Structure 1
Amino acid sequence: MMVKKAFLFLFFVGFSIHAFAQSSAELKRRRDRITEELDKLNDEYSKISHDKRTSLKQLSLLKAQIDLREDKIKTANSEIKLLDHQISANSNNVRSLQSQLDQLKKEYATMVLFAFRNQSAYNKLMFIFAANDFNQAYKRLKYMQQFAQYRQRQAGYIEGTQKDLHVKIVALDHDKKEKHGILIDQEKEKEKLGKEKDNQAQVVTNLSKEEKRTKKAMAQQNRLLSQIKKSISSAIRREIAEARRKEEAAARIAAASAAAKAKAENKPVAEAKPVSKATEVLSATPESAKLSNDFLGNRGRLPWPVANGAIVGRFGINYIQGIKTDNTGIDIKTTEGAAVRAVFSGEVSKVQNLEGSYLVVIKHGTYFTAYVYLKSVSVSPGQKVSLKQTIGSAGIDPESGEPQVHFELWKNLVPQNPQGWIADN
């Protein structure tokens, strides 16, 4: 019974170690990825921080740094909680293994004492010959043999438990050292976060001194974002209208055919199939439904629209100097002329010139992706594109003057946060 319990205990210990290793590795990869992104943003900020004229770009980069830094601290907290759980589990394992070892040693000592008292061949023979009959004598002989084998197994269990105990103690020590290292790193990150927030406050103060120029830049940025949003939504509405027109035309043909057949067979005309809702019409055909499902199935694994880059503008609503900005996508800093690629297979819905740079919208069933600030394009409306196919080259962000790509992802007429869809870079 003791052996069975020991086996089950070690099985669950091994399973929990495997699960911990997976979670711990995932968190470490996430922390390393955030560190890489922060390094890129730090380099970018260093390049523009020497500019005497404070810009919205500085504030945008600082905000991106602060968001990432807070994310890194949260990730470290998750790692620490996971390690605390593992340290607690390992401590319990050590106590349990020590208890089992003590019990095994106690049982072994009892057997050794019994064997010592009956170690002479004379005593063993007397024990066998004292049997009442042959069957009992045979059973006593088998008992002596089994007893010797059991002693050997117990010795093996003791040795194995001692090894397991040593492994758990080493693992416990490793977890404690790792936790200590993460805590030190976390304190450094908190210190950097504080400095970044101080820099942010200083930049906001400088921008306040140049209120007129700041508001003008903000107004220009909002106007461009509004124009981008309007262009994307108009392309989607046109696709919805076209899909509805095709479905209605097909329904009319089907209804006419059904009516003619019913008349010929002198039967009542069947009720026509209702036209799909606006939110469903784009996936009304089997091909578009499959494309939509495939796109959804790759959530969190879509490639970036550029091979190398760093996110410098995040999705959502922000307030700068009391002025609201609504970014329905993300801004990715890259190198000028970098290849911009489709994040999934689909069909080009729109190509438009926006104040000297290009916007490309690609349809993926009910989903749409948009690529902005392209200095050149290599696709045209109606063209089929494949995963990672080059659709153009990266241009310049008109506000910052830096090489950048603005990327958006919509489901029907609702913008989605692209960061929840693209893979870790």
Structure 2
Amino acid sequence: MKFLKIVLLFICVFATANLYAQSSADLKKQRDRINDELEQLNHQLQDVQNNKKVNQGQLTNLKKQIALREEKIDIINSEVRNLDNQISTNTNTVHSLQNQLDQLKKEYAGMVLFAYRNKSAYNKLMFVFAAKDFNQAYKRLKYLQQFATYRERQAGYIESTQHDLHIKINELDKTKEEKHNLLVEQEKDKATLGKQKSTTLKLVSSLSKQAGYIKQQLKDLQAQRDRLNRKIQEVIAEAARKAAEEDRLARAKAGNKESTTKSSSRRTINESLNATPEAAKLSSEFLDNKGSLPWPVAYGEIIHGFGKYYTEGISMESYGWDIKTNPGASVRSIFSGEVYGFQDMGGTYFVVIKHGEYFTAYSNLKSVNVSKGQKVSTKQNIGTAAVDPISGDTEISFTLNKGTTSINPQAWLATK
């Protein structure tokens, strides 16, 4: 009966431990994930701080770290509660096993004393022969045999219980050590959290003082984008006029000059750009590769996407993608075509490549490796990315046009 109680006790303990293990494993996975994210954010923050400027990126990064660290502290609290439950369960188990062991030892001591008093064969025979009849003598003989067997079994129970008790005590010690380590880690996170909150308040104060300067920077950035877009549109318009003139001359040679002039005047910019078979073929091939065109840099992260957006209460518009890349990154043509123009924009350059009726423009280049009129192939290096003076990051601007119409590159470039 006592053995059955021990078995039931271990079944309950095992079930509880299994649930605890599952819960703790899930919490540990969450804690490890947060640690990985915190490490990545810390590296990013170091990169931002190396620019020696107080900016919005630092504030955003710190807020993310604070939120993650608070989440991690909550997870550690949950882990500590689980460990407290496990410590309580293991402590109860240890006490129960100790009680069982004491009871088993007490009973075994009684059996040993009885066996000692009846150790001689004479006493055993006297015990058997003192029976009233044969049946009682037989039962006494069986009792002596069963008593010996039970004593051996009881010794086995004692040894097994001592082994289990030793295991549970070790588990209890490990659980207490794990709890201690978690509490130490939590204290470190709380200290770091306090410092980050203090740093965040200082950043907010500093950024508030710089608000006017930042807004002016944003206005200057938009003015620069508008100026660049106008220059690119001028290059495309020039290409369209040239294509229309070449088309008019070709038609003039082939037929009636007056009808040709009237016909060409009714042509759209895109029709003029696709007037020759070569241009039409290139436009068709460019269109066929929609969604699979390579990025203008081997590695890139979109800083601003296409279209209008608001920041610091200012309406901004991007005519393409602003892409952050690695320092000294090579800029490449996304498709075969012809370099139609490049221009110095006050220390940096932009390059426009014609792909039939489509045009791609690559801006904020530190250097250019191609010349006007040069044929280029897909992924051919055309220059080197420059450092943005405001963010301190290596960035380029990429725009895509169909004729003079700006197009969102998202549907055209391959998914990273």
**Shorter chain as normaliser: what TM range?**
0.5 to 0.7
For 2:31, the equivalent position in structure 1 comes to 31
Q: What does 1:343-358 align with in structure 2 at a 5 Å threshold?
A: none
CA shift digits 1:136-170 (9 cap, x unpaired): 22222111111111101110111111111111111
CA distance in 2, matches of 1:216, 1:86: 59
Query: Which one-letter code corresponds to 1:19 in the other structure?
Result: L
CA distance in 2, matches of 1:180, 1:67: 24
For 1:289, the equivalent position in structure 2 comes to none
Relative distance call for 1:39 and 1:79 in structure 2 (3 A) is: same
Q: What does 1:24-423 align with in structure 2 at a 5 Å threshold?
A: 24-214=24-214
Relative distance call for 1:128 and 1:57 in structure 2 (3 A) is: same
In structure 2, list runs of 5 or more residues that go unmatched. 221-298, 304-310, 315-323, 330-360, 363-389, 396-416
Q: Which runs of 4+ in 1 moved over 4 A?
A: 213-220, 320-323, 333-337, 399-403
Relative distance call for 1:115 and 1:24 in structure 2 (3 A) is: same
CA distance in 1, matches of 2:156, 2:163: 11
CA distance in 1, matches of 2:151, 2:176: 38
CA shift digits 1:49-71 (9 cap, x unpaired): 13243221111111111111111
CA distance in 1, matches of 2:300, 2:161: 51
Query: Which one-letter code corresponds to 2:208 in the other structure?
Result: S
For 1:415, the equivalent position in structure 2 comes to none
Query: Which one-letter code corresponds to 2:211 in the other structure?
Result: E
Conservation of the 8 A alpha-carbon contact between 1:204 and 1:321:
no
Q: TM-score, normalised by structure 1?
A: 0.52
Conservation of the 8 A alpha-carbon contact between 1:208 and 1:321:
no
Q: TM-score, normalised by structure 2?
A: 0.53
Relative distance call for 1:31 and 1:217 in structure 2 (3 A) is: farther
Relative distance call for 1:32 and 1:309 in structure 2 (3 A) is: farther
How far is the alpha carbon of 1:216 from its aligned partner? 7.0
Conservation of the 8 A alpha-carbon contact between 1:62 and 1:200:
yes
By relative contact order (CA 8 Å, sep 6+), the higher-ranking structure is 1
CA shift digits 1:245-267 (9 cap, x unpaired): xxxxxxxxxxxxxxxxxxxxxxx
For 1:371, the equivalent position in structure 2 comes to none
CA distance in 2, matches of 1:143, 1:77: 58
How far is the alpha carbon of 1:20 from its aligned partner? 2.0
CA distance in 2, matches of 1:335, 1:122: 98
Relative distance call for 1:63 and 1:131 in structure 2 (3 A) is: same
Query: Which one-letter code corresponds to 1:195 in the other structure?
Result: K
SS in 2 for 1:31: helix
SS in 2 for 1:164: helix
CA distance in 2, matches of 1:309, 1:128: 96
CA distance in 2, matches of 1:75, 1:113: 56
CA distance in 1, matches of 2:127, 2:162: 35
Query: Which one-letter code corresponds to 1:100 in the other structure?
Result: Q
Q: What RMSD, in angstroms, separates the aligned Cα atoms of the two structures?
A: 4.0
Conservation of the 8 A alpha-carbon contact between 1:56 and 1:214:
no
SS in 2 for 1:25: helix
For 1:21, the equivalent position in structure 2 comes to 21
CA shift digits 1:147-194 (9 cap, x unpaired): 111101110111111111111111111111111111111111111111
Relative distance call for 1:101 and 1:215 in structure 2 (3 A) is: farther
For 2:251, the equivalent position in structure 1 comes to none
How far is the alpha carbon of 1:91 from its aligned partner? 1.1
CA shift digits 1:193-233 (9 cap, x unpaired): 1111122112111110112244578999xxxxxxxxxxxxx
CA distance in 2, matches of 1:335, 1:17: 50
Relative distance call for 1:335 and 1:31 in structure 2 (3 A) is: farther
CA distance in 2, matches of 1:210, 1:150: 87
How far is the alpha carbon of 1:114 from its aligned partner? 1.4
SS in 2 for 1:83: helix
For 1:236, the equivalent position in structure 2 comes to none
